[in-house]
Amino acid sequence: MKYVMTAIITATLSANAFAHEGAEGVIKERMDRFKENKEAMKAIKGNLTGDAAVIAQKASEIEAWANEMVNFFPEGSNQSPSEALPAI
């Protein structure tokens, strides 16, 4: 419940989150995965002088998504709110 409240508040306040309203299917999924990558990068940065196990874990998560992401850009999946260019 706390998470839901936080999500609602974040969605209300954040222009970025607002831009993603209506994203669904593969577009939503890859946006969520990229956001997880962003959080993983932050966790790594925050542990550079801290817990190496966290860095290893988060690096593995980024690697896993890197290996999967090519399957998340089927042709034509760049309609709004996606910001993916047709070239991708």
Distance CA 15, CA 31 (A): 15
Give residues 1-30 in contact with ligand HEM (rule: CB under 6 A): 20, 27, 30
Nearer to ligand HEM, 20 or 55 (CB): 20
Nearer to ligand HEM, 51 or 83 (CB): 83
Which of 37, 55, 57, 61 binds ligand HEM (CB under 6 A)? It is 37
Using the CB atoms, write b or e for 50-80: b if 16+ within 10 Å: eeeeebeebeebeeebeeeeeebeeeeeeee
List residues near ligand HEM by CB under 6 A. Answer: 20, 27, 30-31, 34-35, 37-38, 41, 62, 82-84, 88
